[in-house]
Amino acid sequence: MIDKYTWWEKLLIYTGVLVFLTFVLAPFIEAFMVSLRPIDAVFRVPYRFFTEDMSFAAYFTMWENVPKLWRYILNSFFISCCATALALACIIPAAYSFSRFEYRFRNPILGGFLAINMIGAAVLIIPLYKLMLNLGLLNSYASMIIPGAAFTVPTGIFLMRSYLLRIPKELEEAAYVDGAGRIYTLWRVILPVALPGIVVVAITTFITAYAQQFLFALTFNSNSDLHPLPMGLYQFFGRQRIVWNELMAASLVGILPVLLVYVFLQRYIVAGLTAGAVKE
């Protein structure tokens, strides 16, 4: 058995973790505290962490001042779900092709897909804007879903491919021997076995699409009924006098669903995130 930590090593590690987590969580904690303060306590000097008459009042009044909050939250989910579905429809067959078949230009094509990761959406924003304009997609859900999906496809292919490579080829060969067609084999033999990998890719894609809705919404959409949460709240952010306690309350309520999803599914998410870190 390897050496145990001495008491001062333990102290050092826990202190380090505490400092690290303080940095990571401070904005959330402060946002929560602000959401509990009445607005005149928010704008008060000197700064105090606890103020008198803290309450959940902002969580009730925000629905009047941000009337479409529900819509924003649902829009965010809807856009991310559609983007995930669209991305998966591209990722799964492509990853299967890259992992199972030998053909000309396979590796250059794969390399080409991965190189897309280098290109940020903001770089292509001008032609994308013109594309959306010409297709008549400005101010529609599609203008946020389609680009959102496209930029998650390369990473998704990479993750899915490394998962599929681990599934033994004998599985398909057995299916072929039994006379199964290739599409049938993919659908009925490979996909069920690859389900855990698909779940990982789906969740990772969802979270990425969810985190990165701002740019597309800012540029392609001006219909406030369709805004995802970040853009919906950004409108209030730009005002002269920002109602911080309600803005923070709305932010926290808005991110609560995805935080819950994360807590329940975090094992899959971590698996997806770190797939590249471990040598196969």
Q: From the list 59, 77, 141, 214, which residue makes contact with another protein (rule: CB under 8 A)?
A: 214
- 11 scored as a contact of another protein (CB under 8 A): no
Q: Which residue stretch of 51-59, 61-69, 128-136, 189-197 sits at the interface with another protein (rule: CB under 8 A)?
A: 128-136
Q: Which residue stretch of 16-24, 51-59, 63-71, 193-201 sits at the interface with another protein (rule: CB under 8 A)?
A: 16-24
For residue 68 the two structure tokens come to 């479409």
Alpha helix segments (H runs only) across the chain: 7-36, 39-42, 57-65, 69-100, 106-115, 125-134, 141-150, 153-164, 170-177, 182-185, 191-193, 195-211, 214-220, 229-237, 244-273
- 149 scored as a contact of another protein (CB under 8 A): yes
Q: Which of 64, 103 has the CB closer to another protein?
A: 103
The interface mask with another protein, positions 253-272, x = CB under 8 A, is: -xx--xx--xx--x--xx--
Q: Which of 201, 233 has the CB closer to another protein?
A: 233
- 165 scored as a contact of another protein (CB under 8 A): no
For residue 26 the two structure tokens come to 């401070």
Size, binding site for another protein by CB under 8 A: 107
Radius of gyration of the chain (CA): 24
Q: How far is the CB of 74 from another protein (least distance, A)?
A: 14
CA dihedral sign, ordered 180, 91, 269, 252: negative
Alpha carbon distance 151, 125 (integer Å): 13
Binding to another protein (CB under 8 A) within 174-193 occurs at 176, 182
- 76 scored as a contact of another protein (CB under 8 A): yes
For residue 207 the two structure tokens come to 């979270």
CA angle 260, 234, 75 (to 5 degrees): 50
